[in-house]
Amino acid sequence: MGASIYDFSVATSSGEQSLADYKGKAVLIVNTASRCGYTPQYKGLQAIYEKYNKDGFEVLAFPCNQFGEQEPGDDTEIKSFCDMNYSITFPIFKKVDVNGKAAHPLYNYLKQQAPGLLGLKDIKWNFTKFLIDKDGKVVKRYAPMTEPSQIEDDIKKLL
């Protein structure tokens, strides 16, 4: 298990990217889906990204098809959907599993560091959010229904 998110690499459309590239920044990591009741949160995520990116804030999206098969598309379709509907400019990584045997090691780390309600570790649904400080440590986990704007005060404290 890593000591921070910087110990992990994630798949992009062009290969692997180390999360160490985000050292010194506050980061919000979100498992996303294009056909979910929470999908409109992309708009809020883009808004807080635009508002705080210049101050050292990043949003990292990880599409996931483990909840109601609400992200059936391939990486190209997902990116196209996000561009067309929400003009997303933050990184959208390759689709991952967040639970189970095939869960991405990053998500195993996040769940270990910030269990959900009643100490349960599994991600319950799309748009679960993890706020990471500038040292790569998990600060807080947010439920899917938490709107990005509701996290703004916590983000400002980290910048």
**Catalytic residue positions, numbered:** 36
The sheet carrying 138-142 orders its strands as: 57-63, 26-32, 129-132, 138-142
Which of these, 87, 100, 106, lies nearest to 47 by C-alpha position? Answer: 87
**55, 88 in Cβ contact below 8 A?**
no
CA distances in angstroms from 112 to 51, 97, 105, listed in the order given? 30, 15, 11
Amino acid identity of residue 36, one-letter, is C
- CA dist 7 and 3 (Å) reads 7
Contacts of 43 (CB under 8 A, 6+ apart): 86
For the four alpha carbons of 53, 121, 2 and 8, in that order, the dihedral sign comes to negative
